[in-house]
Amino acid sequence: MKALRPVLLALAALVAACSPVKKEAAPAPGQPTEIRFATDWRAQAEHGGFYEALATGEYARRGLNVRIIQGGPGVNVPQLLAAGAVEMGMGSNSFIVTNLAQEKVPVKAVAAVFQKDPQVLIAHPDQGIETLADLKGHPILLSDASVTAFWVWLRSKYGFTDDQIRKYTFNSAPFLADKRVAQQGYVTSEPYTIEKQAGLKPKVFLLADQGYPGYATMVLAPDSLIAKNPAAVKAFVEATAKGWRDYLYGDPAPADALIRKDNPEMTPDILQQAREKMKAYGIVDSGDARTLGIGAMTDARWKTFFDMAAGQGVYPKTLDYKTAYTLQFVGK
């Protein structure tokens, strides 16, 4: 599972790099627009639609020369945007994008591929834990970034307390060693790994299905690119949506080949089960995406997220959170 990496350390640098807006030369007529797109973790099925659009030529057909820059430990997408190392990037969750708005960083979410954040809490099956609320009082393994993200919602809704937090280092050994312990994960990743390696079928609670309102896997674009070349941003969003439809419901082989080239750890069974989980849980095509298309965002959904976070003191209630996103390229 990829980490929910904090972005605050990069914000000052990003503000300096992005402001004032630098005018860049537009590509020559007939020449494709170069888009280097940074993902937020190593290549995996959760990036499948981007790789599918690349592999099947959806980006190229729309006049884009896209190169996917694979993420990983220590890779910070806002820093890459700041340095001009990429033209667009992936935002893992709604907190990251709202943090950028709070710091007045000129970068926006232009699409939200995941209508449901895939974050889950995982518990042992024989501890009387039947609902998410039953985890109150249990130790929960969380990464540092998660404590300032979805943990805020868990405290608000279920009354979880900070003394439940235990350090999560993306290793399930402490979870397996103590039946009272729960841990964070991705619905597409850790449950399968735990079941495969330990022969244990864990209890899995998808936070989005319990009301967690955040988007995930958002496409980020600097304000300068949106202003200078909105056609390229639109083309990227449209090609990406087509790529995700084809990856989930068409032939995923072209994307899987590129994913495995970038990240050989992704075996066919891991990719297939992740794809099936994304379909079964409606990670990509539930909610507003059913009527507005893949990548959809709405003002109402963003308001629900912001009201929750501001209500817990994460952001001032006066923050102009709408600067975190634009609906210009989705829902048309």
Q: Which amino acid is at 300?
A: A
pTM for the structure as a whole: 0.90
Domain boundaries, the chain: 8-116+214-324, 119-210
Residues of the chain with pLDDT under 50: 1-25
The pLDDT value given to residue 13: 46
H-run or E-run covering 36: strand 33-38
How many angstroms separate the CA atoms of 216 and 118, rounded? 8
How many angstroms separate the CA atoms of 189 and 187, rounded? 6
The pLDDT value given to residue 83: 81
Q: Average pLDDT over the chain, rounded to whole?
A: 91
CA angle 99, 143, 147 (to 5 degrees): 50
Residue linked to tokens 């005018």:
23
Name the DSSP letter for residue 200. -
Q: Which long-range contacts (CB under 8 A, 24 or more apart) does 84-87 make?
A: 84/17, 85/36, 85/38, 86/36, 86/37, 86/38, 87/34, 87/35, 87/36, 87/37, 87/221, 87/222, 87/225
> Would you say the CATH fold of 119-210 matches that of 8-116+214-324?
yes
The pLDDT value given to residue 78: 83
Three-state DSSP state, 65: strand
How many angstroms separate the CA atoms of 273 and 226, rounded? 36
* Phi and psi angles of residue 311, each rounded to the nearest 5 degrees, phi first: -65, -25
Question: Encoding tokens for residue 231?
Answer: 């056609």
Q: 304, 308, 306, 317: which is closest to 155 by C-alpha?
A: 308
CA angle 236, 241, 242 (to 5 degrees): 100
Q: Which CATH class is domain 119-210?
A: alpha beta
* Phi and psi angles of residue 22, each rounded to the nearest 5 degrees, phi first: -95, 135
How many angstroms separate the CA atoms of 266 and 257, rounded? 10
CATH superfamily of 8-116+214-324: Periplasmic binding protein-like II (3.40.190.10)
DSSP E strands in 94-154: the ranges are 107-114, 119-123, 140-142
The answer to whether residues 313 and 157 touch, using CB atoms and an 8 Å cutoff, is: no
pLDDT digits 0-9 by tens, 232-271: 999 999 999 999 999 999 999 999 999 999 999 999 999 9
The pLDDT value given to residue 159: 94
pLDDT digits 0-9 by tens, 175-195: 999 999 999 999 999 999 999
